[in-house]
Structure 1
Amino acid sequence: MTPGRRSSTFTRLLRHGFTDPSAAERLLDSAELAPVRDDPVLLEALGATADPDLALHGLVRLLEAQHGPTAHRELLDTLIAAKPLRDRLLGVLGASAALADHLARHPSDWQALVTYEPRDLHRGVAEFERGLAEATDPVSLRVAYRRCLLSIAARDVCGTIDVADTAAELADLATATLRAALALASEAAPQDAAACRLAVIAMGKCGGRELNYVSDVDVIFVAEAAAEGTDESKALAAATRLASHLMRICSETTVEGSIWPVDANLRPEGRNGPLVRTLSSHLAYYQRWAKTWEFQALLKARPVAGDATLGQAYIDALDPLVWQAAERENFVPDVQKMRRRVVENIPAAEIERELKLGPGGLRDVEFAVQLLQLVHGRTDASLRSGTTLHALQALAAGGYVGREDAARLDEAYRFLRSMEHRIQLCRLRRTHLVPEAEADQRRLGRSLGLRADPAAELIREWKRHTGVVRRLHEKLFYRPLLDAVAQLAPGEARLSPEAARERLVALGYADPAAALRHLEALASGVTRKAAIQRTLLPVLLGWFADSADPDAGLLNFRKVSDALGKTPWYLRLLRDEGAAAENLARVLSAGRLAPDLLMRAPEAVALLGQGDGTGPGGGGLEPRDRGQLEQEIMAAVGRAENAAQGVTAARGVRRRELFRTAAADIVGSYGTETSPAEADQGALVDRVGAAVSDLTAATLAGTLRAVVRDGWGDTLPTRFAIIGMGRFGGHELGYGSDADVLFVHEPQDGVDEQEAAAAANKVVAEMRRLLQLPSADPPLLIDADLRPEGKSGPLVRTLKSYEAYYRRWSLVWESQALLRAEPVAGDAELARRFTELADPLRYPRGGLGDDAVREIRRLKARMESERLPRGADPKLHTKLGPGGLSDVEWTVQLIQLRHGHRVPGLRTTRTREALAAAREAGLLSEEDTAVLDEAWVLATRVRNAVMLVRGRAGDTFPTEPRELAAVGRYLGYGAGHAGDMLDAYRRTARRARTVVEELFYADGA
């Protein structure tokens, strides 16, 4: 071939969509294609496929596999002469490497495509039963199944049938296959077949006639004795053997692979229940024990194989129970909770690619439709369909769903199902993840008719449709109420640039010119984003104005919108879910910390709109407990390739959860239009302290696991535990607190002590390094200065070393520090023994002697004089000032040291719990307890507020007016009342100092 010719062919191949023209040229020059090498029809047809390179390669393999020149010529002649065959065959070869493999193994099966013309509509299960009729064993059944699948795929990729018809044909092929498998099982065990009547009930997508190319086929088995008087237990045993054999025939892997798994776990009691039950046993279970989700699953029940009369009797018996399910207590919350649980179980690394279960995915449509069916199908039989799209059409026809909404959901669902089909068709593997490789995205996009820029168009269309589903799912499923716009005066429901400045001035924006620039950037233009924001902004501006810094709120909203504006769900979330927009407005205008955390991962804004936060996993703003946090972090660490990746994942969870905690704190402190501010200030403090402490403990546990796993493969030569100290041990951490800890280890049996110590020190060093690496996530500083000998002492000690030190050298301040010691991570047994070691020191038998009391007082006085920052107003210093945190905590700790040995309630690391225990034991009066508690709570609230407002920790009130006003707003003071806030703090601290002087410094104390 001349260079010019090659260049021309190369260019033509590129133009026809080949990505490897050089390889394609070589294949076109092969002996197999010699007779049609220059045929333009072939090249045109290849270029029309999803993957021309794959199609050409598959064609050459098929031609090579033909048995002799006659068969080879017949295929080529038919391919060139018959356009329907050409389109079907090349279409399949370009879309499915797995079916190309099948054709290479069974080269005559291409002829199955000749019999299917566009006018030949699918006639039902009988057609596929004929296609499987010659199968005499599991292997031949698999071959026949693939041959039938080939015909479905051909009609699918050529557009002869749409996605709904494809799903129905796949379900009908599954029905025929189950019947064939049952026939094979019955032939193998004729006595069992004669002893029982067995019906196979299809569930899930097979039952709904909307099956995927590769999917578990969900079934339920019901059986009866073949004749009256036959022993029921023997009949059930026979039916169970038949059912088990049927499942093996379909599921087991042979030389021809498997068909699909048959899953019977939707049966009563799931995998723990009997595989086969009688009809009366099924009915009794559903009448007494079934959960809401089990009735939802029965929506798709359909008899498909075995005894048809028994199968229909099953449906007739259970159908009334399905339509009574909506009358069950907590029905709708149960269904919603189940959907949330499904989403929460998606691995974090996959959720953005999850086509089926992710937000805006197929399951959102199906759950919404099923909920509405169950609610309204009680009285409207037209809604009783197991097929999602049929049910959606019925809901629209009945007026239960708007026709436009139904049409958009229908379109989105069809597109997403088409994506799912084509993803699975390629390799005939069960997956619902959108591929990451550009080549796979390109093939997928082309298979759906996207040709200009297939990969980019695919992702764009996918995101558009998931956005539609997300918005409409929330609208249909949760029935949100968003009527803030309706509360505005006439003329204010839409914002025009001309009216903006006047409104901004009236709302109290300090820099209306800058605010107007932000508004113009947000609301100008003709994009859908701008249109949505023009709807939202009038309401948001009012919420921002209700804060101490509306300018910051608007600026932060612009930053979030710039970061998320191209994400379909973001603005729809704010527009369509009642509380999300207001919560976001409160959070963005309350200070720097929460917006900074949000900017580092803007997708966390979704937390502001997830229901009421009471569901499993702590959706929305409800703090997640330590077990949930550890589970997520440990799972992420387990997926990581090394310690750095694992700790990065843990820090990402920490950042998200810090935002969740901060947002909940802000919303609880400010209140919303529908929920007043939290009246119990102590509850807010406890919630933040517990949430941040649990999060810190989970982060340390995950970091420890990552470091040990990376360095030692979970075989660390020494037992290792982390003990929380200070506010960490007391579950009282603030947003910017370091993690005060002690490290303790104990060599494993037979391990040299030096080797164990070196390993323990290496673990600590690596943990500290990884948790402080510069990144988008806030660092977590580990402070071990409360260890024996302070900064001069070893960073890690053995338990024996701690015991020896405390026995010989321990000072009173160390006993005081141990009052806060609580295990937080690592070896639980070692930590327990450390606690046992600490107890006699922190709760000394007989209490403290006079010398020890004097030493504590001396240390307290020195700390106040040496550590109070120069120039700071002592009366407004929340930690070291009179009546501040130090005063209250040292007073409580002195009581614990003196009386903890005889008052069990004082043996707690938590300040407020110890205060309450001292009151109950008669060591404090009700009045003194209330004064100290109020002061401690207020000082802690101020510290939290300063961190939220300024984005950095501080022990004094800000001096900048806006920041001071923001702290006041957080504490419940309106505009112009910052002075009242300071006066109230001084009063509270002064009263507390009076109590402290009586209890801590008085000679008789």
Structure 2
Amino acid sequence: MSLPTLVALPPSLETLAKRALAAFEPAAGALGAGPATPFAEWPPERRAAFARVCANSEFVAGQALRDPAMLLQLAGGDTLERSLAPDELRGQLAALLADCGDEEELGRRLRRFRNRQQLRIVWRDISRQADLVETCRDLSELADACIDLACQWLHARLCAQFGTPLGRRSRLPQQLVVLGMGKLGAGELNLSSDIDLIFAYPEGGETEGERRSLDNQEFFVRLGQKLIKALDAITVDGQAFRVDMRLRPYGSSGPLVYSFNAMEQYYQDQGRDWERYAMIKARVVGGDREAGRQLLEMLQPFVYRRYLDFSAIEALRDMKQLIRQEVRRKGMADNVKLGAGGIREVEFIAQVFQLIHGGRDRSLQQRPLLTVLATLEGQGYLPPPVVTELREGYEFLRYTEHALQAIADRQTQMLPDNELDRARVACMLGCADWEAFLERLAHWRERVDWHFRQVIAAPGEDEAPEERPVDTRWLPLWESAGDEASACRQLSEAGFADPQQVCQRLAALRGGSQVRSMQRLGRERLDAFIPQLLALAVEQDDPDLVLERVLPLVEAVARRSAYLVLLTENPGALQRLLALCAASPWVAEQITRFPLLLDQLLNEERLYSPPQEAELAAELNALLLRIPEDDLEQQMEALRHFKLAHRLRVAASEIAGTLLLMKVSDYLTWLAEAILDQVLTLAWRQMVARHGNPRRGDGSPCDLDFIIVGYGKVGGIELGHGSDLDLVFIHDGDPQAETDGAKPIDGAQFFTRLGQRIVHLLTAQTPSGQLYEVDMRLRPSGNAGLLVSSLGAFQRYQEHEAWTWEHQALVRARVLVGSPRLAAAFAQVRAQVLARPRELDNLRREVGEMRAKMRANLGTPSTAAGTAENAFAAAAPFNLKQDAGGIVDIEFMVQYAALAWSHQHPELLRYTDNIRILDGLAQAGLLPCDEVRLLQEAYKAYRAAAHRLALQKQPGVVGGDQFQDERRAVMRIWRELGLS
């Protein structure tokens, strides 16, 4: 939403405004000529703002009358009408404390500084010169400055008294680390917020340098106590900040300060779900910032799990249930923070996504809520209309919270019960009256609560966790409460074909080591999940098959029961899982091997709508940009997960019929290209960082003068679900010239190592498998040749040494990624090699002989590779790819045609895929249109069958009675071209 509108003051507030002006003018005038801009010389806009602010805020009115010089100095310094620059506020406080003599004076100066800045911030907020973000930022920077500078001041005084604390092992000076939690950590402090802090120090030891030494723990406890007193104690000048230390380990009963090791041990062994929620916003706000950064890195695995953690939904739901019970008990329904549809619910919505996905998606590892909401929209976790409503609702609620607190600088989120404060709140929110305000508030609370229920609330009614309904129909069967005969009867009546086998499978799961070793919470989740699984399985056409394929997944994730929560909490995702597993054992196996893929099932629209080529590349690039450049392990895992996720989406779309065969291959090829592009960038960056840039022949540095050429299926844009990549690497550097880095090597070594690095990144096994199998045998001289060739060497080999079958392979070769300049040069070389005139009799003979060898070695022996009389019998197998009349025959005919006629028809070399080359043959009149259509339809039918078989984890073989017309036609055209 935009800033609340400045509306006319109602009569009750107009009266207060006039009183404030009447009282302040003589008080300010009595100061004489000291301030830079006397009140009498204020412009009308500032006087009007003063009247409005004082009418709405008793705090500002009181401060102005108590210390008119402070307000006049603020106005004279121009900070009422402008935003502060970064660190400007800190600089002001540092100057103020420079000559501070003792702790009492420290407290006095901190409080006066806080009051001065609080007046400025409230003024700018009420007069709408600052929006919500600026107000929260100024308040947070004010707290940061007070905490950090007071900490530094106190640390120096304690060191002078007891010596400098040193680490026992490192022998390095130690400083306190102050973590800001909650709204302070997120930079979202409200106008009268307390500050949640946690104190820590790096390591144990003692102070040294003075007669009396202290243990580091005691030193930092004293420092923490003094810091709290400097900020929290109420004096004649008020209070700087209320300090809340209850978020520290063990809460109020625990020590005030912890060493890093103790902190890590606590969160590892005893950290609770609500502490993960709180730690999301932890930020170093004072003390040793570098040590604080190290501490947060140590604690990050506790906050952000490396797997999808849907148990976070349960934890946040339980927290919300406790809050709601407390709200009801204390009659706090009018609390805009804790009540239904309040600020806390928006925070919960954002943080549940952070806790679930933040371990893998680092873009969610942020603190400010509005930034997190923008990321949830940008990354597709929530639809834009939902994010818009949550953002606008949150802003309205926060403006309301600020209005409530601006009145008297009091920490409250309760709606007022008196007419004057109601008029103030309505006025500050830009509403005509209290009723209009309540109407807008009710609207936003209703929308926030509705979205909260969609994300976090339990299915069904808003019940306590232990009261959530379970499908009791199947619970006794799973718990083995009844006898086997009755269980089999129940299963049979429900539609299971082999109920005894189902009972045995469930018993094996229940008695298996994975389930027996589960902790209580995990077993409770499993007991809630299995009845739901059985209830949905019976809705499938073949429930026996579904359980056979899904139960291995259940066993695989039993010890990571958060996945069970995901499926229990999302019945739609469970239904999609069962449907996909029923349709494809390949999909079932993939999800069982990589359960993190369950995340893809949550969004049905996204699952069945893979992104287009440019979107795919942009998504992967954005994903890797969020990972530090030096974190290779995380980069490799991100690449692998990206590939697994998008390959599943393509398979799901193919199964659902939303993607046709040609589009399936397009998407799988785009996916490979996007990954190769990033792999090349990573490998190049690593090599250059180690050895410097290689050189070209003219001595200039190479700028990624390297290309990855794809052959075979990837070159022909025909990748399948399990296809490997046939690749060739080509560079355009000087093999003799050395690189310009600290560890120089010659160009030949550089590019060879670059190629090796690329292959390693693609093929290395990680917890998420490998990216691709890579076949480099099509490079010049095959396995005996160099891993990487210069373009000149590649051209010479193709022109003088390559066999005909290598030129056939070149027909399907194209540059996948790399230097555009080098790619254009490669295209010219390819065209020159392929378009040279050939003696057709020799070409037909060589192509035919190569095909005969392939049939002999790879075809079906029992049918002489599909040429024997029995090849068309129903019992005879037909290899879709290798037997006569199959895929390779069509590919060889297309390659023969390109080699035979491209010197006269260069347009045949424009494309590398068989379908479009066949189109070119028809357009050039080289093959009859009917025969081209026949070959294209046969080719697509074969490939579609091969895709279906791959999803069924079956070889590309069908019965001999299938595709008989297609096979005979392909064999006839083969003979007519003279290739037999």
Which amino acid in 1 is paired with 2:887? L
Offset at residue 558 of structure 1 (A): 1.2
- AA partner of residue 786 (structure 1): L
Which residue in the other structure is 2:975 paired with?
A: 997
Q: Secondary structure at the match of 2:732?
A: strand
Per the alignment, residue 857 of structure 2 pairs with 866
Residues 538 and 348 of structure 1: CA distance in aligned 2, closer, same or farther (over 3 Å): closer
Q: In the alignment, is residue 609 of structure 1 matched against residue 602 of structure 2? A: yes
Matching residue's letter, 2:818: G
1:813 is aligned to 2:805: yes
- Residue 200 to residue 535, structure 1, CA distance change in 2 (3 Å): farther
Provide the residue aligned with 1:654 in structure 2.
640
Task: Show CA shifts across 1:483-515 (max 9, x none).
Answer: xx99x9x97899876576445443335831233
Q: Secondary structure at the match of 1:775?
A: coil
Equivalent in 339, 350, 372 of residue 362 of structure 2: 350
Aligned twin of 1:686: 665
Corresponding position of 2:496: 507
- SS class of match (1:552): helix
Q: Is the 8 A contact 1:592 1:948 kept in 2?
A: yes
Partner-residue secondary structure (3-state), 1:836? helix
Of residues 586, 592, 604, the one that matches 2:579 is 586
Matches within 5 A, 1:164-313: 176-178=119-121, 200-204=129-133, 206=135, 212-213=183-184
1:727 aligns with 2:713: yes
2:828 is matched with which residue? 836
Which residue matches 2:654?
668
**Alpha carbons of 1:385 and 1:646: their partners in 2 closer, same or farther (altered >3 Å)?**
closer
Structure 1 segment 89-168 matched on structure 2, within 5 A: 133=71, 142=90
Give, in angstroms, the shift of residue 782 of structure 1.
2.4
Mind listing any 5+ residue stretches in structure 2 that lack a counterpart? 1-55, 78-83, 97-112, 141-182, 190-285, 288-349, 402-412, 416-428, 430-436, 462-468, 696-700, 740-744, 867-876
Quote how far apart the aligned CAs of 1:860 are: 1.6
CA 1:339–1:928: 2 relative to 1, 3 Å: farther
- Which of 546, 549, 557 is matched with 1:550 structurally? 546
Letter in 2 for 1:865: A
Which residue of 2 is the match for residue 857 of structure 1?
Answer: 848
The 2-side partners of 1:667 and 1:509 are apart by 31
State the secondary structure of the residue aligned to 2:570.
helix
Q: Does residue 1:778 correspond to 2:774, yes or no?
A: no
- Does the CA-based 8 Å contact 1:636-1:646 persist in structure 2? no
User: Are 2:938 and 1:948 equivalent residues in the alignment?
Assistant: no
Q: TM-score, normalised by structure 1?
A: 0.51
User: What one-letter code is carried by the residue in structure 2 that aligns with 1:747?
Assistant: G
How far apart, in 2, do the equivalents of 1:814 and 1:764 lie? 21
CA deviation vs aligned residue, 1:325-360 (integer Å, no higher than 9, x gap): xxxxxxxxxxxxx99999999895525644556999
CA distance in 1, matches of 2:559, 2:747: 48
Q: Which residue of 2 aligns with 1:540?
A: 536
Is the CA contact 2:734–2:748 (under 8 Å) kept in the aligned structure 1?
Answer: no
- SS state at 1:984 partner: coil
- C-alpha distance in structure 1 between counterparts of 2:477 and 2:372, whole Å: 30
- Aligned match of 1:936: 939
User: Letter of the aligned partner of 2:962 in structure 1?
Assistant: A
Contact between 2:186 and 2:369, CA under 8 Å: does it hold in 1? Answer: no
1:130-183 residue CA offsets vs partner (Å, 9 max, x unmatched): 7964667689965888999xxxxxxxxxxxxxxxxxxxxx99998743577999
SS for the counterpart of 2:729 is strand
- Aligned AA for 1:565? S
Deviation of the 1:821 alpha carbon: 1.6
Give CA deviations for 1:80-118 in whole Å, capped at 9, x if unaligned: xxxxxxxxxxxxxxxxxxxxxxxxxxxxxxxxxxxxxxx
Displacement, 1:916?
A: 3.0
Instruction: Say if 1:374 and 1:351 are closer, same or farther in 2 by CA, change over 3 A.
Output: closer
Q: What does residue 44 of structure 1 align with?
A: none
CA contact (8 A) 2:898 2:908 kept: no
* Residue equivalent to 1:291: none
- Percentage identity across aligned positions? 17
Distance 1:914 1:173 in 2: 77
Partner SS, residue 957 of structure 2: coil
Distance in 1 between the 2:125 and 2:446 partners? 41
Alignment of 1:468-483 (within 5 A): 470-472=455-457
The CA RMSD over aligned residues, in Å, is 5.8
Q: Is the 8 A contact 1:734 1:944 kept in 2?
A: yes
Residues 740 and 783 in structure 1, CA contact (< 8 A), matched pair in contact too? yes
Alignment map for 1:784-933 (pairs within 5 Å)? 784-844=776-836, 849-868=840-859, 874=866, 875-901=877-903, 902=905, 904=907, 907-933=910-936
* 8 Å CA contact retained: 2:727, 2:778: yes
3-state secondary structure, aligned to 1:1001: coil
CA distance in 1: counterparts of 2:386 and 2:622, whole angstroms? 38
Q: Does 1:708 align with 2:710?
A: no
1:641 & 1:570 partners in 2: Cα distance? Answer: 32
Task: Find the partner of 1:598 among 582, 591, 594.
Answer: 591
TM-score of the superposition, structure 2-length normalised? 0.52
One-letter identity of the residue aligned with 1:997:
R
Q: Are 1:739 and 2:725 an aligned pair?
A: yes
Q: Is the 8 A contact 2:526 2:561 kept in 1?
A: no
CA 1:800–1:600: 2 relative to 1, 3 Å: same
CA deviations 1:733-776 (Å, max 9, x no partner) are: 22332221112122259826992112111222233234333322
Amino acid of the structure 2 residue aligned with 1:914: I
Shift of residue 796, structure 1, vs aligned partner: 2.0
Task: Provide Cα deviations, 1:585-606, integer angstroms capped at 9, x if missing partner.
Answer: 1333444543444345423311
1:389-400 to structure 2, matched below 5 A, reads none
Superposition deviation, residue 694 in structure 1: 2.8
The question of whether the paired residues in 2 share the 8 Å contact of 1:630 and 1:701 is answered with no
Distance change in 2, residues 1:569/1:629 (3 Å):
farther
DSSP-derived class of the 2:708 partner = strand
- Residue type matched to 1:636 in 2? L
Q: Distance in 2 between matches of 1:360 and 1:834?
A: 45
Give, in whole Å, the separation in 1 of the partners of 2:527 and 2:377: 25
Q: Which moved more, 1:137-146 or 1:771-780?
A: 137-146
2:39 is aligned to none
Deviation at 1:541, TM superposition (A): 0.6
Q: Does the Cα contact within 8 Å between 2:811 and 2:895 map onto a contact in 1? A: yes
2:752 match: 761
Choose the corresponding residue for 1:571, options 567, 572, 580.
567
Displacement of 1:564: 4.6
Letter of the 2:506 counterpart: L
Q: How far 1:205 moved relative to its partner?
A: 7.8
Q: 1:787 to 1:699 in 2, by over 3 A?
A: same
Contact 1:549 1:589 in 2 (8 A): yes
Determine the structure 1 residue equivalent to 2:613.
625
Q: Size of the alignment, in residue pairs?
A: 617
State the distance in 2 between where 1:547 and 1:884 align: 36
Aligned AA for 2:732? E
Gaps of at least 5 residues in structure 1 are: 1-120, 149-169, 184-197, 219-255, 258-337, 410-467, 477-484, 614-618, 672-676, 958-978
